[in-house]
Amino acid sequence: MTTANEIRKDSAARTDRFAALETAFHDAGIKKRAAIFAAMTLAAVGPDSASGTLPRQVAEMAAALKSNPETRKLTADQTRPAIAAALLATGKDEKALEAARHALPRQHFGALSGLRPQAAIMLAVSDTEAGDALWTRHQAIIDAAPRRWYGARAIGPVPALSLALQGVTPETALARFEAARSGLEAAGLWGPTATGYAPKLAALDPNAPVLANNFKSLKEGRKTDKRLKLLNDERRALLAAAAPDPDTLHAALEPPLDAAFERKRKLSTSAGALAACLALAALGKASPDQSVRELLAIIAAEQAAVIAATTAATTAAVSTSG
């Protein structure tokens, strides 16, 4: 069994690799937040070496994603290099993302669905065949989940896809969801909030008492360790679900939290994302493609913000010109 000290060393190595990769991406022409997210992705799931031609390969693939009309719709400028890095880390290319886009069922991931980009990337980095068996399992997981107060199923299309790609049965998916929800509620999170976070945690196969204990430890730690305030409740929940105990959890978090806190002004909202992603990777709970899927929630949120801002600016320009 991996010790807390070994986890801390791995986390520190990933944190150092992030810094080296960020510099390498800047040198390769990828700037600012795009470089941060690309470096974060490769530090979490890429090869141990931060040198060589990898940053240039990421830049070239990001350009290919932008030039292809099929994949340009799924990516935004600030997140495109990170998506390219995720594809390279799992041995894929832009054609895999294009194929994944066409494989998604329109029932849940239609052309106007905001879930489509995240789902396409999740599918592209996976080695699971996007055939009838996958989509039957995906729909069965959704149907097995209870309904929330507003009528939608508690396990939505994207978390259900993550579980389906793992090959779990609907019964197992539901058991994991219930374990996550009960653990979060035991940790003091309000019922609807726990229900909202639980689907994302289900992919980590959480243990309810361990999850509750880990989450409480992070919550208590905020009172004396201001670095932990970089993590919002959802990221604390993910980390709590991934770690076997509080000591191991804090060991995984310490190096990236230090780095994120030192640069919190430059990193802004990405500071907590950096700490959470590198700590999750160090905990080693997930396979490489699963680790990529954990990153995609953050990447998708950034992309949604970029798209929303662009749309608002375009609408304002049209209104002014009119």
Distance CA(180)–CA(234), nearest Å, equals: 12
Q: Is the pLDDT of residue 317 over 50?
A: no
Tell the residue number behind the tokens 């009119």, with chain if given: 322
Q: What percent of the chain has pLDDT over 70?
A: 86
The first and second tokens of residue 180, run together, are 């996550």
Residue 48's pLDDT band, with cuts at 50, 70 and 90, is confident
Contact status, residue 80 vs residue 54, Cβ threshold 8 Å: no
Q: 237: part of which helix (H) or strand (E)?
A: helix 233-242
* pLDDT of res. 313: 37
Structure confidence at residue 321 as a pLDDT band (50, 70, 90): very low
Look over the chain and give the mean of its residue pLDDT values, rounded to a whole number.
Answer: 85
Tokens (6 digits) for 66:
């932008």
Query: 252 near 11, Cβ under 8 Å?
Result: yes
Amino acid at 190: W
| Rounded mean pLDDT, 264-292 | 75
- Name every residue whose Cβ is closer than 8 Å to that of residue 121 and which is 6 or more positions away in sequence: 74, 83, 86, 97, 100, 292, 296, 299
pLDDT value, residue 51:
58
Q: Is the pLDDT of residue 286 over 70?
A: no
The yes-or-no verdict on residue 320 having pLDDT over 70 is no
Write down the pLDDT at residue 142. Answer: 96
With 60 as the cut, is the pLDDT of residue 88 above it? yes
Kindly tell me if the per-residue pLDDT of 308 is higher than 50.
no
Mean pLDDT of 231-246: 92
User: Which long-range contacts does 52-59 make (Cβ < 8 Å, 24+ apart)?
Assistant: 54/24, 54/88, 55/21, 55/24, 55/25, 55/27, 55/28, 55/30, 56/28, 57/88, 58/25, 58/28, 58/30, 58/84, 58/85, 58/88, 59/25, 59/28, 59/29, 59/30, 59/84
Q: CA 322 to CA 320: how far, in whole Å?
A: 5
Residue 76 is predicted with a pLDDT of 81
According to the model, what pLDDT value does residue 267 have?
77
Greater model confidence, 11 or 31: 11
Query: Which pair of structure tokens corresponds to residue 187?
Result: 């940790």
User: Is 80 exceeded by the pLDDT of residue 278?
Assistant: yes
Mean pLDDT of 143-149: 91
At residue 112, the pLDDT reads 62
22 Cβ contact partners less than 8 Å away, ≥ 6 residues apart: 35, 36, 39
pLDDT at 206: 94
